Amino acid sequence: MDTMRWKQGCLEILDQTLLPGRAEYINCDRHKAVCDAICRLSVRGAPAIGAAAAYGLALGAAEIEAEDRAGFIVAVEKIAADLAATRPTAVNLKWGLDRMLGMLRKHSAVDTGLLKEALLEEAHAVYREDLESNRRMGAFGQALVPGKAAILTHCNAGALATAGLGTALGVIRAARDAGKDVSVYAGETRPLLQGARLTAWEMLREKIPVTLITDNMAGYLMARRKVDLVIVGADRVTAGGDVANKIGTYGLAVLAREHGIPFYVAAPMSTIDFDITSGDQIPIEERDPREVTHIADVRVAPAGVNVWNPAFDVTPGSMVTAIITDRGTACPPYAESLANLRRGSF
Ligand code: MRU
């Protein structure tokens, strides 16, 4: 099932808030509709929101009436700023938009019609290349998975979070395809249950054995030696290897270290933010308290209670065994290994 698809001037986005109950697409024919879909988490996961934002910019460009190149570019930059403001943590969003704007500024055409077409082509390329990147991560990552392995993952870093196979789940799929006997423990991922709703759904459809646990069961699961390794995705990795990912990831890394279990992160190079070195510099999105006080619109906490709802946390690179990218696997020290991957010397 496509996370998003382009049809006749319209971006159709699979509404992940309805899964696993219903599989319905939202028709976005204006960039504001894409902004809303990203804010609501109808489309979510770092690479997927990068691609959605790229398509959103192409849609926004088509809305612009300015005929002159300079006025057109200023208007596109304004729309890019609206899209960039939707979610602050996943750097892929900014990466996708920067790539689109970079292409636009370099494009020599003065005809705005041609510029609009070029933006749409670039959005298609962002989406297409993500699938290829998933394949490469899978190939590199599966080499780290033993012949028989129970793998704990968190949130959803699967096909639904990308253009195709997924990052963490892409590695798991590749290990299965390589003939390995893999099974998955999926943490439910409160408050929005991406693990229970999306990862469990994806793994069942893929016929990869999956067992669902609530987030607070992970420690006991590890203590009972039921997990061989942990693989998660990432929303932003610093040049020093600190990893922002779905809230709860840091707790799993601490538990994995305590129990001597490898803790892997799978993330494409577009998730690595070489402009910052420390996790303290990553902006962490805080979301509506209602996500914590309610489950599926049913209030589960008393009205008036204070709520803290950070959507992500930061795991220090020192707790990460290896970072699987689409250019190869980086090992500590990450400042050196990630820089080498960036330079292409790997
Ligand atoms: O809030 P979400 O659902 O967008 O959070 C998603 C995650 O944290 C994923 O683990 C991350 O984006 C990696 S997706 C390949």
Beta-bridge partners for 273 = 238
d(CA 135, CA 144): 15
Q: Tell me the average pLDDT of the chain.
A: 97
Where is the domain boundary, 83, 110, 135?
Answer: 135
Q: What is the pLDDT of residue 300?
A: 98
Nearest-CA residue for atom 15 of ligand 1: 157
Task: Among 135, 158, 181, give the residue marking a domain's end.
Answer: 135
C-alpha of residue 243 to centroid of ligand 1, in Å: 12
| Number of helices followed by number of strands (H, E) in the chain | 12, 16
How far is it, in rounded angstroms, from Cα 104 to Cα 107? 5
Residues of the domain holding 82 = 4-135
Name the residue with the closest Cα to ligand 1, atom 8: 246
Catalytic annotation, residues: 235
Q: Is any ligand 1 atom within 6 A of the Cβ of residue 44?
A: yes
Q: Are residues 294 and 167 in the same domain?
A: yes
**Co-location of 143 and 94 in the same domain:** no
Do 235 and 249 form a contact (C-beta atoms < 8 A)? Answer: no
The CATH number covering residue 170 comes to 3.40.50.10470
Return d(Cα 318, Cα 334) in angstroms, integer.
9
User: Is the shortest distance between the CB of 235 and ligand 1 below 6 Å?
Assistant: yes
Cα of 244 from ligand 1 centre, angstroms:
10
Strand order across the beta sheet in which 312-315 lies? 272-273, 236-238, 243-246, 312-315
Tens digits of residue pLDDT in 97-116: 999 999 999 998 889 999 99
Q: Is the beta carbon of 47 within 6 A of some atom in ligand 1?
A: yes
Whether residues 127 and 141 fall in one domain: no
Contact, 87 vs 49, CB < 8 A?
yes
Give the rounded percent of residues in the chain with a pLDDT score beyond 70: 99
pLDDT at 1 over 90: no
Backbone angles phi, psi at 128, to 5 degrees: -60, -45
Of 135, 154, 182, the residue at which a domain comes to its end is 135
What is the C-alpha to C-alpha distance for residues 124 and 115, in angstroms, rounded to an integer? 14
Ligand 1 atom index nearest CA of 46: 12
pLDDT at 108: 83
> Would the pLDDT of 74 be above 90?
yes
Q: Which amino acid is at 344?
A: G
More confident residue, 254 or 66: 254
**Within this chain, do residues 45 and 169 fall inside the same structural domain, yes or no?**
no
Helix (H) or strand (E) holding 122: helix 112-142
pLDDT, position 345: 57
Question: 188 and 244: one domain?
Answer: yes
* Of residues 176, 185, 175, 170, the one with CA closest to residue 227: 185
Say how many domains are in the chain.
Answer: 2
**Distance in Å, CA 248 to ligand 1 centroid:** 12
The enclosing domain of 32 has a CATH number of: 1.20.120.420
Q: For residue 92, which atom of ligand 1 is closest to its CA?
A: 12
| Same domain for 290 and 189 | yes
Quickly state the pLDDT bin for 346 (edges 50, 70, 90): low
